[in-house]
A and B are shown apart, each in its own frame.
Chain A
Amino acid sequence: MIAEPAVTTSTPPAWRHRHLLDVADLGLDELETVMRTTDAMATVLARPIPKVPTLRGVSVTSIFYEASTRTRVSFEVAAKNLSADIVNIAASSSSVAKGESLVDTVRTIEALGADVLVIRHARSGAPYLAASIFGGHVVNAGDGWHAHPTQALLDLYTLRERLPGADLHGRKIVILGDILHSRVARSNLWTLTATGADLWLCGPATLLRGFEALARALPGDRRLTVTTDLRAALRDADAVMTLRLQQERMAAGLLPSLREYAARYQLTAERLRAARPEALVLHPGPMNEGVEIAPDVATSGRSVITEQVANGVAVRMALLYLLAGGRPAESADAPA
């Protein structure tokens, strides 16, 4: 079923990773492979019965140490569409609640026959620990502040699908809000700058900590600007991604109040006028409408937020396939 034109080009698609832990180490050729494979999965999703037998017999276990709706369900739907068996574990209702260590939990999951482990964890780097002991494939479904690879890939897919020419080179893309605590921002930073986008990070100074130094340290072919000035960030932007602002930030003294944050940094229709007329609005969810984003902007014609969710399933199908479905070069022989 992956025998779609995009996958059967003359050059074999590139994919060199046993695990998906980060996007920083994905080459441009691998990003391209993910995009093309996602195209193929999107055609599957467009069918009346969006289900193929590609991963029949593959056992996927997801364990979420943090609450999640969309990512967890998205992986589940993606696995089921590929006919994989999936078991979901919520850490709060498992032995983890009895104090079982991550290492023991991963060993147990492996002993129960899992081929793929999808893990969400509040601690940065936890999927690396899992990967160091798990015999199969580990997919990072978000770790602490560090990375959210599938989110960045679905954002990349969505932007390429919706921006004219499917090319991000030179496009001004703004990520707005709580950058410091955001794994979504950190992962998008690598994928978007790799594709040549002109990336801007914008938010209150306390939530940008460390990123100015990062911008200065990046190689010259990666374009990254860090600013507290929302007007400058939005001017002529091609796309704006707002991030969820969490209540804890006020308690930690990083911000005076939600009200002040909304007054200065909420993405409103008025502010969005500085961007290009066709500028896209993205949000990785879950949204606080009325805080980081005005409700009318979230539901406007420019918003691609629900497309992000739909594309998330196709991207996760593509990644499960690339990791567990054999070599992508063999995909032309995959059962239809």
Chain B
Amino acid sequence: MPRRSAVGGLDDQRAGERCQRLELERAWLVDPWTGREGVGSLLVEDGRIADLRWAGGRVAPGTRPELLVLPGLTDLHAHFREPGDEDAETIATGLAAAAHGGFTRVCLMPNTTPPVDGPGVLRQVLAAAAASGSPVRVDVYGTTSAGRGGLGLSAMGELADAGAAGFSDDGSPVADAALFRNALAYAGALDRVVVEHAQDPLLTAGAEMHEGLVATILGLRGWPRAGEEAAVARALAILDEVCRAAPTGARPRLHLTHLSTAGSLDLIRRAKSTGLPVTCDVTPHHLALHDGWVAGDRRWAWDAAAAPWAGSAVEAAPYDTATRVNPPLRTPADAAALAAGLRDGTVDAIATDHAPHTAVAKAVEYGEAANGISGIETGLGLLLAAVDAGVLDLPTATRALTVGPERVLGSALGAGGPAGFEIGAPADVVLVDRSEGWMVSAEGLLSKGKNSPLLGRELGGRVLLTVAGGRFAYLDPGLDAG
């Protein structure tokens, strides 16, 4: 349990309140705007960054101070289920979970019931966020198609006027290529990104997990890589077409979310090299887990790379529905390709695709179970595991959770977002204790969704506090004066 003495200036401060004073001495600071990391001190006063000092001199290699200070993280992709499925999550519980995960800004997907396909539902979601009292900033996507039905465009202009962050039919692709073309063109004129869930519906009909060796052994219906890559290739071809025809000032922007295969990233890499305005994100679970988890393997992806299928590595019962997610957990080789994509800049962002579900939706046969992982509280821990394994470096991971997402959303919404450790700016700060791990447990997760394959697993790096916009969004119980 962290001691209050580890963090200076915290006297009598509580979650929800303005951060009056916070002294972080000789912590490990990461500033993704400048790419700098190292030992330093950060002072927050009256909700604002008051001082930042980097320690001089060289830091011995391998030095890892106990306290890690990151700028507040942005999650480009989360499902908070309200309105319509408040048994699985509410905006208030989702925001509490986000803060516990180190996020100070979240972008909510619009596949609620009813979906956010017009300004009315959008305002309802924003009002619920305001009413929650959480200082975590909330942005909301509108749907791409009306009612997410895939037949006509949503009320895109009205949604943009009401503040929509972009447009997405996430959960499903826009299957109609002609409608997708129109959506890109129309959203481009509104200076909004279209966030596409790339999936060929027919190649993946009835799919239960990644199509590969593990699926063959378990007798589960396969979700082939081509089901994603064909959709990515199609989307890029359409984007190219729309770009050529776009009037000045109406350049379309396409963001492909939760990409999961090596081949998808090859397509993005090539498209970026030709200057297409495309960005993409990957999830922490696709980076750290792999399809062997469906069979009960519990090794990290990087540890399984040498022997993707090892019956001896199976330590849990197979068919754990917490591992069912769309797109599915891929092979260790795909996970390695996603990490490589982050390192070389092909991947712009890491997004959690936080998808909470009720116990009832998961306590069923594997093929009947809802897709999704409750991941907003474990994402940072998975990334730190990847950092510890040498798969990612800390500045790269941090950039993909801060600068990267800001760029994806674009200038229309950038104002008011985290500005880094700029003196005088409202504080968006996450403090992580690296000296001890924490056990992921159903009771410990603040999300209503307990559907995590990591339950019972220890993650390194425990969030001690999250300050969003100068207010405490999360305070570890050991620190909370209350």
**Cβ of B364 and Cβ of A124 under 8 Å apart?**
no
Looking at the assembled complex, report how far the CB atom of B214 sits from the nearest CB atom of chain A, in whole angstroms: 10
Q: Tell me the chain A residues, 118-144 only, with Cβ under 8 Å from chain B.
A: 121, 123-126, 128-129, 131-132, 143-144
In the bound assembly, the distance between CA atoms of A217 and B368 in angstroms comes to 29
- Expressed in whole angstroms, the Cα–Cα distance for A310 and B363 within the complex equals 37
Which label, helix, strand, loop or mixed, suits the secondary structure of the B interface? loop
B317 within 8 A of A: yes
Q: Are A124 and B216 in contact (CB under 8 A)?
A: no
A147 touches B219 (CB 8 A): yes
0/1 string, B57-86, CB within 8 A of A gives 1: 000000000000000000000000000000
With beta carbons under 8 angstroms apart, the residue of B219, B222, B364 that contacts A146 is B219
Shortest Cβ distance from B296 into A: residue:
A128
Give the nearest-CB partner of B206 in chain A: A252
* Shortest distance between the CB of B19 and any CB in chain A (Å): 45
Q: Which residue of A lies closest to B319 (CB)?
A: A125
Complex CA distance for A213 and B318, rounded to whole angstroms:
20
Structural contact, B213 and A217, CB atoms closer than 8 A? yes
Task: Give the nearest-CB partner of A126 in chain B.
Answer: B365
Assembled-state Cα–Cα distance A60/B2 (Å):
53
With a CB–CB cut-off of 8 A, which chain B residues contact A124? 208, 218-220, 319, 366-367
| Residues of B360-402 whose CB lies within 8 A of A | 360, 363-368
Given contacts A123-B368, A124-B366, contact A144 B317 (CB under 8 A): no
Complex CA gap A217/B212 in Å reads: 11
Most chain A Cβ neighbours within 10 Å, of B221, B222, B366: B366
Number of interface residues of B (CB under 8 A): 24
Asked if A200 is at the interface of the complex by the 8 Å CB criterion, the answer is no
Shortest Cβ gap from A199 to chain B (Å): 15
Establish whether residues B363 and A183, one from each chain, have CB atoms under 8 Å apart when the complex forms.
no
Task: Return the contact of A102 from the options B208, B215, B317, B364 (Cβ within 8 A).
Answer: B364
A53 touches B (CB below 8 Å): no
CA A306 to CA B27, docked complex, whole Å: 76
Evaluate contact between B319 and A128: CB separation under 8 angstroms.
yes
A214 on interface, CB distance cutoff 8 Å: yes
Q: Which of A123, A126, A128 contacts B317 (CB 8 A)?
A: A128
Residue of B nearest to A147 (CB): B219
Given contacts A128-B318, A145-B219, contact A214 B364 (CB under 8 A): no
Interface assignment of B428: CB less than 8 Å from any CB of chain A: no
Asked if B217 is an interface residue, CB under 8 A from chain A, the answer is: yes
Could you tell me if B366 and A123 are in contact, using CB atoms closer than 8 angstroms? yes
Give the residue name and chain of the A residue nearest to B321 (CB): A129
A101 to B364, CA, bound (A): 7
| Partner-A contacts on B (CB < 8 A) | 208, 211-213, 215-222, 309, 311, 317-319, 360, 363-368
The 7 A-B residue pairs whose C-beta atoms are closest, nearest first, are A146-B219, A125-B319, A145-B219, A210-B216, A123-B365, A124-B219, A125-B366
Given A213-B216, A214-B213: 19 more A-B contacts, CB < 8 Å: A24-B217, A101-B363, A102-B365, A103-B363, A121-B365, A124-B208, A125-B318, A126-B365, A128-B318, A129-B365, A132-B317, A145-B221, A146-B219, A183-B219, A209-B222, A210-B211, A210-B212, A210-B216, A214-B217
Interface residues of A (CB under 8 A from B): 24, 101-103, 121, 123-126, 128-129, 131-132, 143-147, 183, 186, 209-211, 213-214, 217
What are 26 A-B interface contacts by the 8 Å CB criterion? A24-B217, A102-B364, A123-B367, A124-B208, A124-B219, A124-B319, A125-B220, A125-B318, A126-B365, A128-B319, A129-B319, A129-B363, A129-B365, A144-B220, A145-B219, A145-B221, A146-B218, A210-B213, A210-B216, A210-B222, A211-B216, A213-B212, A213-B213, A214-B216, A214-B217, A217-B213
